[in-house]
Amino acid sequence: MTRPHEDSSNPTRSAVTVFAPAKVNLILRVLDRRADGFHNLWSLMQTVGLEDAVTIRPASGHSEIRLQCDSAALSVDQTNLVYRAAAAVLAQSQHRMGLDIRLTKRIPMGAGLGGGSSDAAATILGINRLLNLGWPAARMAEVGQALGSDVPFFFHAPTSVVAGRGEQVRAISVAGSRWVVLVNPGFPVETKWAYQQLSATRQSVEPLSERCSRLEAQGRVSWDDVIGLASNDFEGPVFDAHPVLRQIKTDLLKWGAHLALLSGSGATVFGIFSDEAGARRAGASFQGHSEFKVFITQTCSEPLRVE
């Protein structure tokens, strides 16, 4: 039987920082319900330059996972996805050691931007690097899948088609970078509630279109392709419950967004712009709403960044 590694694992780095990007759903289809009670999804996901940061250090004075976060709204105990991700990697790699982890939050919580999932993925990748585990993306994604449906995507970032419960990930590329305006209304939307509203309000499940299926088969697509297919099945019920989100989408389109869409189950609405000036004008138009959080950034073109 293989014995667990002790503190003498001799990591070659004294610390690793991984930048955890937000994601937007350029397409999000909620398909049939599975036997396990979850829904099959089909989504085109894209990372954007709004990032959290996860810094991981081997602990010298204790053998625990100790997590700190600059947001008082986020728990730092075993319910936190970063903590759970660290514990899972240590267990599966059979390392017994302490870790000091610092989470710096910029991505709003409950926002449909995948912040918690991205933080978990960054933690897995960071410990993989810190301990020289040599795990490939598929192994890291397998660990992440047990933590959340969106986690595997971040190991195949920046752009991927994601299907099933999130475990089926096919990396593709969208030609060229775009500017993104993220508008968060200052309140969260609970994912479970959004699914309940969707199930209660729609009459049937529209099958995945042939155009989406063809998109998945391509290794590289254009923004025109994406704009023509952009949709989110959650928009109807979520917008009905929160009309301010529909108004944000309308305003982004009025200010020149090539597409504007709810991300995930909400509550963030984003617009895609071809140039920085247009994005900044659109972002500035929301300044009168002090409760809104507005971020102006670009689509990512690289995988998770490690320092």
* Cα-to-chain-centroid distance, residue 301: 15
As averages over each run of 10 residues, the pLDDT of the chain (307 residues) reads 43 85 98 84 97 96 96 95 98 96 96 97 98 97 96 97 94 95 97 94 92 89 95 97 98 98 97 98 96 98 93
pLDDT of amino acid 12: 56
pLDDT of amino acid 39: 85
Residue of 132, 162, 65 whose CA lies nearest to 144 = 162
pLDDT of amino acid 135: 98
pLDDT of amino acid 212: 93
* Cα-to-chain-centroid distance, residue 224: 23
Residues known to be catalytic: 23, 150
pLDDT of amino acid 1: 39
**What gap in Å lies between CA 64 and CA 55, rounded to an integer?**
16
Tokens describing residue 149: 């449906």
**Residue listed under structure tokens 């993220």:** 182
* Cα-to-chain-centroid distance, residue 9: 31
**How many other C-beta atoms are found inside a 10 Å radius of the C-beta of residue 266?**
29
pLDDT of amino acid 217: 87
Q: Is 163 helix (H, G, I), strand (E, B) or coil?
A: strand
Q: Exposure of 168 by Cβ count < 10 A (0-12 exposed, 13-18 middle, 19+ buried)? A: middle
Helix (H) or strand (E) holding 57, with range, is: strand 39-58
